[in-house]
Every structure is written in C-alpha cells, then in structure tokens.
Structure 1
Amino acid sequence: MKKSKVLLLLALVFQLVSCDTSKKTEQPEVVQKKNIFTIEVNMVNKEKDVICLYYKDNTISFFNDDMAIYKNIEKSDVPQTVIFELPEDFLPNDFRFDLSHENSNQSMKVNSLKFSFAGESFEINNTELEKYLTPNEGVIFDALSRNYTFKKDTNGNYDPFLTTTGQFYPLLEKLVGIGAFQPAVN
C-alpha cells in the first residue's frame, strides 16, 4: 500500500513538473509595435482650454482640419502632459501648435515638447523653445517668465499659434527620414 502511494505521489510530481516545463517552452505572444509618431507636450496652464496640433506631410502644402488633433486641457498649477498621436505610419514634415482656442485669459508655460517615432525621439526644453518654434502675432512670449499669453491679432481674430523654424526640420528629419520632405510620388 505504501509503495503504491509513493508511486502515485511520484507520478503526480512528475506530471506537475512536466506541465510547468511545457509552459516555459511555449513561445511568448509577440505584440507588434505600431509606427505611431507621438508628440508629448508638458505644460502648465492657468485656465481650462482646448489646444490643437496641426500636422502635415508631403502630400499637402498647407495645414488643414483634416490633419488636426484637438485636446481639452484642464486648469492646473502643476505640470500636465498632453499626448498627440498621429495616424499609424504617418510621416510628418511640419507642425503648428495652436495653444488656445477658447480662453484669451490663458497663461501657459510649455516645459517641454517630446517628439517620438519608431523608438527614437528628441526633446525641446522650455529654454530652447524660441530656437525651434516661433509665435504668430496672437502670442506674447515673456522671455523672463518663459510663459505664453494670448491676444487677438490686428484683424480682431483669436488664433494664437506657434510654427516651426528652420532649425526644427533637421531634428524632425532624423526621426522620419528625408523622404518625408520630398515631393509625394503619385
């Protein structure tokens, strides 16, 4: 009787060990990483508002609403990060950042902008903003506080935004390649 219990116990242990071993040899499920270009804006804004990222590629020469992403932002005295994701495999060649759509009393500090694609990235810190982004006449940049405030332009329109400078494009080209800047082939 003892011998059969020992054999049964050994068989059970063998079964458990062999099951555990088979689990270890199974191939893990492969998760495909998507090629999604992302922009992370780390900012502090004093009022609730809506910001927008316009993006374009070599198929168009101007920004339009078909290539725009709107994000609600909450009033906050602490930094928050807003993440914009472009469509999968989209290779941008330019950006426009609309910093306020609803609140002309907005005061905003952009701490950093991080651009990422296919495992590579570059970041623009607050102290470098004016090197890579230039404001339109609806944006007032205070170089001392490093804050943005907004106003209506000379025509009475409220459309404060930042556009990229010539120094921005070499950084972007390192992420997306020169092909993003060449004319589209039909």
Structure 2
Amino acid sequence: MKIKLFLSLFLAIFLLACKGEKQTEQVAVEKPVDSKVKIVVDMIVPKDDSFQIFYTEDGTSVFNEEKSVRVNVKGQPTTQKIVFNFPEDVAFSFLRFDVGENKEQQQMKIENFTVDYFGKKFEAKGNLFFQFFAPNEQLTVDMNGSTFVPKKSGNIHDPIFYPLEPLGVELEKLVKS
C-alpha cells in the first residue's frame, strides 16, 4: 500500500513538474528592430507583396542590392503603415522605391511618405509624393487620387518610383542638419 501511495505521489509530482516546464517554454519570435533611421509609408496595398527601398550615400542615383531594405506587406483594403528600418550609420542622398513583385497587384494608394532621420522628419502627404518621385513605364499613375497601378508588360514586372532632384535636397537637409 505504501508503495502504491509513493508511486502515485511520485507520478503526480513528476506530471506537475513536466506541466510546469511546458508552461515556461517560450518560442522565440523575431521582433522588428526599431531604428532611428526609417521610412514609413502609409498606403493601401490590396494584395500581399514585397516592397524595397534602395538608397545611395554618394550623391548619385546608382542603386544596388547591398544598400536596400525589403519589407513584406500583407495585403488589406485599408491604409497600413509600412516601415523600412535602415542602418543607423546611413546618410541618404537618394532613394528609389520599388513597389512590388506581385504581378497580380491591384491599384495602390499613397497616403503619406515619411523619412525619419534621428527624429528629424521629411514628409510628403498624398499626391505631394509625386513631386519627389517619378514612376517608371511599368506604373500608371493618377496624381489627383494619389493612386498607381502596376502595368502588365510581357514577362517584365519591375514597378519603380525613381527619385527626383527635390528629394535629394530634402534628404540633404535631414542628414546635414
């Protein structure tokens, strides 16, 4: 009888101990790093996609993969904040905004484009965005509505907004002040 009681007590303690271990076990969740150098784009993106911002620091507009930040975007019918966190030692001179890889993407809308550089901000609301960026031939733009749609052009799908000179001026103000 004492053996059964002992085994029952041992089993109960063992099960409770195992149960406690399971409760304290945590899954590592990757939390995005919040940089002091970031670009936040408030926009409507109807379908899942991947956006990328390229940057230069040498005053040219020669862009490469090493100096870029990519963000996956979950499609939704309402405005969302898309945050691009950059290395804090970056000193922008120009930016290029690649707006998607999804060939089935629909009309998107820019609500706001903000560059936050150590608390100093440059902002282009709505269609003011188009004073700082020019679309390539793979985008159809409605400046009044602040909307754009990627064009289907054979096998090529590379919708891009290239920087205009006023953007370089605004970025220089942020970086040098």
CA-CA distance at 1:61 after TM superposition: 5.6
Listed one character per residue, the Cα deviations across residues 75-107 of structure 1 (whole Å, up to 9, x for unaligned) are: 111111011111122101111101011234322
In structure 2, the partner of 1:108 is 108
TM norm structure 1: 0.70
- Name the amino acid aligned to 1:97: F
- Name the amino acid aligned to 1:166: E
Q: Computing the radius of gyration over CA atoms, which structure comes out larger, 1 or 2? A: 1
CA-CA distance at 1:35 after TM superposition: 7.6
CA-CA distance at 1:147 after TM superposition: 1.1
CA-CA distance at 1:108 after TM superposition: 0.7
CA-CA distance at 1:146 after TM superposition: 2.2
Listed one character per residue, the Cα deviations across residues 30-87 of structure 1 (whole Å, up to 9, x for unaligned) are: xxxx983210010111111111111121187611111121111111111110111111
Q: 1:132 to 1:79 in 2, by over 3 A?
A: same
Residue 165 of structure 1 pairs with residue 164 of structure 2: yes
Listed one character per residue, the Cα deviations across residues 145-183 of structure 1 (whole Å, up to 9, x for unaligned) are: 321100145x741100101111112211110129xxxxx
Asked whether the 8 Å contact 2:56–2:94 carries over to 1, the reply is yes
CA-CA distance at 1:143 after TM superposition: 2.8
TM norm structure 2: 0.74
Q: 1 CA distance for matches of 2:172 and 2:35? A: 16
**Percent of matched pairs sharing the same residue:** 25
Partner secondary structure for residue 105 of structure 1: coil
Q: Higher strand fraction: Structure 1 or Structure 2?
A: 2
In structure 2, the partner of 1:125 is 125
Number of matched pairs: 144
Asked whether the 8 Å contact 2:60–2:93 carries over to 1, the reply is no
Q: 1:139 to 1:61 in 2, by over 3 A?
A: closer
- Name the amino acid aligned to 2:118: A
Gaps of 5+ in 1: 1-33, 179-186
Q: 1:60 to 1:143 in 2, by over 3 A?
A: closer
Gaps of 5+ in 2: 1-33
Q: 1:133 to 1:89 in 2, by over 3 A?
A: same
